[in-house]
Structure 1
Amino acid sequence: MRIATVNVNGIRAAHRRGFGDWLATRGCDVVTLQEVRCPVDQLPDDAFGDYESAYDAGQLAGRNGVAVLTKVPPLAVRTWSVADPDRPLPRALRTHATEGRYVEVDLADAPVTVASLYLPKGGLPAHLQDPKRMREAPDGGAKYERKMAFLAGFARHLGAARRRAAAEGREFLLTGDLNVAHTRLDVANWRRSNQVEGFLPEEREWIAAQLSPRTLVDVVRRLHPDVEGPYSWWSWLGRAYERDAGWRIDYHLATPALARAAVVAVVDREHDGVRLSDHAPVVVDYDF
């Protein structure tokens, strides 16, 4: 089973760069998307080919939006925008319910639940904000506090989702853009990034707390234990892409049995010589 995740940074822009052809030819069974940034009625013609789509665009115009594409219609689809009394959201996530940040499906052709997450980028805490070094006006740490609250709430949500899947005899796979790089191997210029959002010590500690041999495993790092990267995001600025000065912030986090079934993990940096987005698809083959 081939599963890919990609932050498309706007599905319409990605289509202009060749996403439709990549999707049609890559042979994925499941593809999860983040930052689709498009209402359903404005999707490009034949946006997802012959895939079924579980889609939550959210209510923020031109922002966010997630999807899970499957070859076989899923058994169940769950999003935060549709309240489920049996699966209440933690309080910290309720303000994000209509933002198009999370969708999960129960696959029909394998005992696996697959989720797509677009985690907030966040910002710097107030004490690290220096107007002379910031592109945006200081916000007193508001974006940082919002992200940290999201992380705390999502940790509870993630644990509950994993346990429910196990109770139903299903493996669990969280994919998506987590906007956090875990270790020094996940950022090309890690020395310069220690005081940058996405690589703050408390963010990295949060990632570490979600991982263990008994709960969730970072599949790409398991298959590439000692390499720098493979990176999945590069700034459009400068020559970051050409120099491979990137970040690894797009993940497959799988329950242990599913992680052990992963045999190949690659990053599709380009398709026919063209970048589909500032992120690249992270594609994993599971012998499951």
Structure 2
Amino acid sequence: MRIATFNVNGIRAAERRGFPGWLAERTPDVLAVQEMRCPSGEVPDVFAGYHLVHDAGMIAGRNGVALATRTAPSAVRIGFGSKEFDREGRYVEVDLDPADGPLLRVASVYVPKGGTPFEDEASLAKMQRKFRFLRSFARHLSATRREAAREGREFVVMGDWNIAPTELDLRNWRTNRRSEGFLPEEREWIAGIQSPRTLVDVVRHHRHGEDGPYSWWSWRGKAFDNDAGWRIDYQLATPRLARSAIVTGTDRDLSYDTRISDHAPVVVDYDV
């Protein structure tokens, strides 16, 4: 079973840059998408053969999450019960009951980028807002994971977390210790929602001790050419599902000119 997550940075732009070719080549059974940036009625015809669940949110031209699945969902949930964030198109979750695999609960998340307390009041406010999201989301993750377990379901939540968990997860970590996405408080939060009994970072578990593989590079400068990236896109799965991963990694584009997005898809093959 192949599960992928991809921040496409605008599905219409991604279509022009080669997303249909990537999807046809990789053919994931489940695909989580972030930053669709598109009203539901204007999504291009690139998900043929999939059941698409899309939450565009209420902010025109921004955010938007989706799940494309080969199996029709048996249940769909939009948002995670937050009055502040559920209108922004940041979370969608479905249950899948495939005939030839385990019962699953899968989710696509787009975490706010945030800010820092070191710049100005506006940046501090962005940081505080991000942490309101994280606190509320942590409660949901705990509740939905437990509910999935009671139903006999494995659970995987994936997407753009906008947090690099460790020094292995960004090339220039020394110069980014005061940057959003690598603040100690953010790293403490992402570590706190994981354990050998709850959720496991599948790629890091499978590729322990390696630098990266990075999933985001700035469009600016030579970040992509120099592989000066961040690993901020990942899959967190229940332990049994995580242990079944046999191939993990990112589909890094061959060159700057062939990039579909500023993110690369994170793809995991599970032996289920």
Give the TM-score, by structure 2 length.
0.96
Q: Distance in 2 between matches of 1:76 and 1:233?
A: 31
Cα 1:261–1:106 shift into 2, 3 Å: same
* Equivalent in the alignment of 1:170: 153
Q: Distance in 2 between matches of 1:20 and 1:57?
A: 20
Matches within 5 A, 1:164-243: 164-243=147-226
RMSD: 1.3
* Equivalent in the alignment of 2:114: 122
- Does the CA-based 8 Å contact 2:217-2:262 persist in structure 1? yes
What amino acid is aligned across from residue 230 of structure 2 in structure 1? Answer: W
- Does the CA-based 8 Å contact 2:115-2:123 persist in structure 1? no
Q: Distance in 2 between matches of 1:215 and 1:243?
A: 36
- Does the CA-based 8 Å contact 1:122-1:144 persist in structure 2? yes
What amino acid is aligned across from residue 11 of structure 1 in structure 2? Answer: I
Give the TM-score, by structure 1 length.
0.90
Matches within 5 A, 1:239-254: 239-254=222-237
Deviation at 1:140, TM superposition (A): 5.6
Q: Distance in 2 between matches of 1:187 and 1:284?
A: 20
Query: CA offsets, 1:54-111, max 9 Å, x none?
Result: 110111000000000011211111102xxxxxxx72xxx3211111000011112131
Deviation at 1:276, TM superposition (A): 1.1
- Does the CA-based 8 Å contact 1:217-1:259 persist in structure 2? yes
Q: Distance in 1 between matches of 2:238 and 2:123?
A: 38
Matched, 1:68 2:67: yes
Secondary structure in 1 aligned to 2:258?
A: coil
Q: Distance in 1 between matches of 2:123 and 2:48?
A: 45
Cα 1:256–1:108 shift into 2, 3 Å: same
* Equivalent in the alignment of 1:22: 22
Matches within 5 A, 1:46-57: 46-57=45-56
- Does the CA-based 8 Å contact 2:108-2:157 persist in structure 1? yes
- Does the CA-based 8 Å contact 2:114-2:123 persist in structure 1? no
Q: Distance in 2 between matches of 1:246 and 1:286?
A: 26
Q: Runs of 5+ in structure 2 lacking a partner?
A: none
Deviation at 1:271, TM superposition (A): 6.8
Query: CA offsets, 1:25-49, max 9 Å, x none?
Result: 21210110000000011112x1212
Deviation at 1:200, TM superposition (A): 0.1
For these two proteins, the number of residue pairs brought into alignment is 268
User: Sequence identity of aligned pairs in percent?
Assistant: 60
Secondary structure in 2 aligned to 1:24?
A: helix
Q: Segments of 4+ in structure 1 off by > 6 A? A: none
Q: Distance in 2 between matches of 1:140 and 1:123?
A: 5
Question: Paired residue for 1:96, among 63, 69, 85?
Answer: 85
Secondary structure in 2 aligned to 1:180?
A: coil
- Does the CA-based 8 Å contact 1:124-1:141 persist in structure 2? yes
- Does the CA-based 8 Å contact 1:18-1:271 persist in structure 2? no
What amino acid is aligned across from residue 204 of structure 2 in structure 1? Answer: R
